[in-house]
Amino acid sequence: MSRVEALRALIKEHECDAYLITDSDGHYTFYSLSEEDRRLNWITECQAQCGLAIVTLNNKAFFQVPPNYRFLAKVEVNTDVWTLGDDIVQWINNQQLSLKRIAYDPRLTPLFIIEQFSALASSLYPIHSSNNWIDIISKKETSSKPSKLTPIWPLDEFRFAGQTSIEKVEKLRRNYLSDGEKKYTLIITAMDEIAWLLNLRANDMECNPLFYSFAIVSCNQLWLFTDNPHQDLQYEIRPYESFFAFLSTLKDQDVWLDERTSVIVLHHLSSTDVVRISRSPIQQMKEIKNSVELEGFRQCHFRDCAAVCQTFEWLQKSMENDALNVTELDVAKYLESRQREQVDFISIAFDTISASATNTALIEYSPFARKTKTLIARDLFYLDGGGNYLDGTTDMTRTLHFGQATQEQIQCYTLALKAILFIEMTGFPCDDTLTGCYIHSLLRAQFASINNSNEHISFGHGVSHGMGVVEGGIFISDSPSLATSTPIRPGMVIAIEPGIYFEGKWGIRLENVYEVIEDDQRFIHFIPLTLLPYSRPLIDVNLLSSEELKWINVYHQRCLQEHKNLINQILT
């Protein structure tokens, strides 16, 4: 029996019409789910890190795939079983499905997904059970306790955080939780928000220095729910599993929930509570970096870019020696080995994307999850990697070619570079219209000369400080599942990654991380933190203006000077 058929048997047994599968672990963690929480991957048999799926009793199944995973899903997913698309509710309506009972796990379903299903709300049916249906059919042991717990350690507040945890909590209470006569109690389920607020870190996740926890902050109290080993924490610590029972003790409260909070939290609150569901104030606080955090970003990018340069030097020499047979996985592992040598390194920020030939078209390809290719000089290659450091997080992509690229590849590379230059050379009015969706539309115009219905272009995201490569407030995208109305503001750090991909053929991507600043005339500018040269053989100078050429030359001089400075620091 197939995985989907096994799930249908459970759907029928419980007299339901469908089952909803999310990409959540109950904390809405980005890009670093533990193996036991990758239920969406298991049922779809696809390595996509995010998405949403529904399996119906009447032989239909739909996988809502973000744009950056669409080509990967087409390769990995059995399309005889699954329909791929970007709007699950629209698909249900278009299919005219009579789904009177859509079962879902309230522990793993965020509130915003329930809102997406508002027109079908009467059909949603929470399954209150300790056993998730995917866990049952995959024969995984389900536990309310995390399987991996590592010691909690404090982040140096003076060197890296720029604010004490006491200052952050006081600011949270003053600016957000005290609203006239209203006094909010904030329920925090996102582990990155808890780690940032309390200046604490651990290593429970492979690519995020976080620890399994919940927290509750009122105007006069703070409770931390965790089972991780710790020493001398200044908060009231309670067991991780006691969190939901504790929620029911909050009587007559004005409760604030982020829209990413799992539905189960709402179910455990007292009926006398008044609930506000809106974007977390901590997310709003942490996406605007302070001066210490910004300086940390600059410093960790110097070091990480040095590791990338070492990797490219090794790769160039290896490609000149045909006998070495370097694979995509070899390159990913070599980069990580160089990153680990850098000061204040914590972990890689995500599985390094090292892709060649047709794999470059898959956007989020992982050489760790698929059969790795050997690099060949006639093929395109790109490396997309990043690291979490005590002083910041990095994310970069560079595309290379070790032979003779085609004219079409050179054109596409140059257009991606022009998109990068457009961002760096343009001042944008600092107002509420400057959103990720708006920037996306401007960048997409740079590719207007590419006339191919098979292409995909994606553009970027916010970057957190040392605890995850994707910060959810900003997405430079027009995807319905990603686009936000959050304005881009000074102090943000944003990765912008114009890329163009031709399904089944090849893809090209460039990516820099930027510090967002505001000038005296209230114009926003994007200042590159990533200092890595571009590939000269892939640039068609005839497509560039004299101003763009000058900008590239100045950037390359800065790359050279900063790396010289870093080498001198190491040698002295």
**Which tens digit of pLDDT belongs to each residue from 524-539?**
999 999 999 999 999 9
Q: Which of 285, 317, 349 is the last residue of a domain?
A: 285
Domain identity same for 260 and 363: no
In the chain, what percentage of residues exceed pLDDT 70?
96
Instruction: Answer yes or no: is 261 within a domain.
Output: yes
Instruction: Answer yes or no: is 144 within a domain.
Output: no
Domain identity same for 347 and 476: yes
Instruction: Answer yes or no: is 143 within a domain.
Output: no
Q: What is the CATH number of the domain that holds 374?
A: 3.90.230.10
pLDDT class for 32, splitting at 50, 70, 90?
confident
d(CA 517, CA 385): 25
Domain identity same for 299 and 204: no
Domain identity same for 422 and 539: yes
pLDDT 10s digits, 254-271: 999 999 999 999 999 988
User: How far apart, in Å, are the Cα atoms of 40 and each of 61, 457, 494?
Assistant: 13, 24, 28
In the chain, what percentage of residues exceed pLDDT 90?
77
Instruction: Answer yes or no: is 145 within a domain.
Output: no
pLDDT class for 452, splitting at 50, 70, 90?
low
Q: What is the pLDDT of residue 572?
A: 44
Q: Please enumerate in sequence order all residues whose Cβ is within 8 A of that of 189, keeping only pairs 6 or more positions apart, or say none.
A: 26, 27, 28, 214, 258, 260, 261, 262, 265
How is 182-228 classified by DSSP, letter by letter?
Answer: EEEEEEE--HHHHHHHHTEE--SSSSS-----EEEE-SS-EEEE--S
Q: Please enumerate in sequence order all residues whose Cβ is within 8 A of that of 35, keeping only pairs 6 or more positions apart, or say none.
A: none
d(CA 572, CA 560): 18
User: How far apart, in Å, are the Cα atoms of 181 and each of 258, 269, 553?
Assistant: 21, 21, 57
pLDDT 10s digits, 38-88: 999 999 999 888 899 999 998 889 999 988 888 999 999 999 999 999 899
Domain identity same for 339 and 258: no
Domain identity same for 373 and 447: yes
Domain identity same for 399 and 546: yes
Q: Which residues of 300-334 are buried (b: 16+ CB within 10 A; e: fewer)?
A: bbbbbbbbbbbbbebbeebbeeeeeebbbbbbbeb
Q: Which of 92, 111, 138 is the last residue of a domain?
A: 138
Residue 571 buriedness (CB in 10 A; 0-12 / 13-18 / 19+) = exposed
pLDDT class for 453, splitting at 50, 70, 90?
low
pLDDT class for 323, splitting at 50, 70, 90?
low
Q: Which of 105, 138, 171 is the last residue of a domain?
A: 138
- Nearest one of 465, 567, 540, 430 to 161, comparing CA atoms: 465
pLDDT class for 213, splitting at 50, 70, 90?
very high
CA angle 394, 52, 240 (to 5 degrees): 70
Domain count, the chain: 3
pLDDT class for 139, splitting at 50, 70, 90?
confident
Judged by DSSP in three states, 492 sits in coil
Mean pLDDT of 363-389: 93
Instruction: Answer yes or no: is 148 within a domain.
Output: no
Cα-trace Rg, the chain? 24
Q: What is the pLDDT of residue 142?
A: 61
Q: And the tokens for 493?
A: 């750090």
Q: What is the pLDDT of residue 299?
A: 97
- Nearest one of 184, 189, 214 to 276, comparing CA atoms: 184
Cα 89 versus chain centre, distance: 23
Q: Which domain holds residue 99?
A: 3-138
Domain identity same for 72 and 171: no
Element containing residue 429 per DSSP (H, E): strand 428-429
With a threshold of 0.85, does the pTM exceed it?
A: yes
Bridge partners of 517? 525
Domain identity same for 106 and 244: no
Domain identity same for 168 and 115: no
Q: Which residue has the tokens 């690291």?
A: 387
- Nearest one of 544, 511, 500 to 408, comparing CA atoms: 500
Mean pLDDT value across the chain: 92
Instruction: Answer yes or no: is 408 within a domain.
Output: yes
pLDDT class for 478, splitting at 50, 70, 90?
confident
Instruction: Answer yes or no: is 334 within a domain.
Output: yes
Ranking 135-149, 452-466, 522-536 by mean pLDDT, the lowest is: 135-149
Q: Evaluate if residue 103 carries a pLDDT over 90.
A: yes
pLDDT 10s digits, 329-362: 999 999 999 999 999 999 999 999 999 999 999 9
Mean pLDDT of 268-297: 94
Domain identity same for 281 and 297: no
- Nearest one of 291, 87, 266, 287 to 192, comparing CA atoms: 287
Domain identity same for 188 and 238: yes
Instruction: Answer yes or no: is 74 within a domain.
Output: yes
Q: What is the CATH number of the domain that holds 20?
A: 3.40.350.10
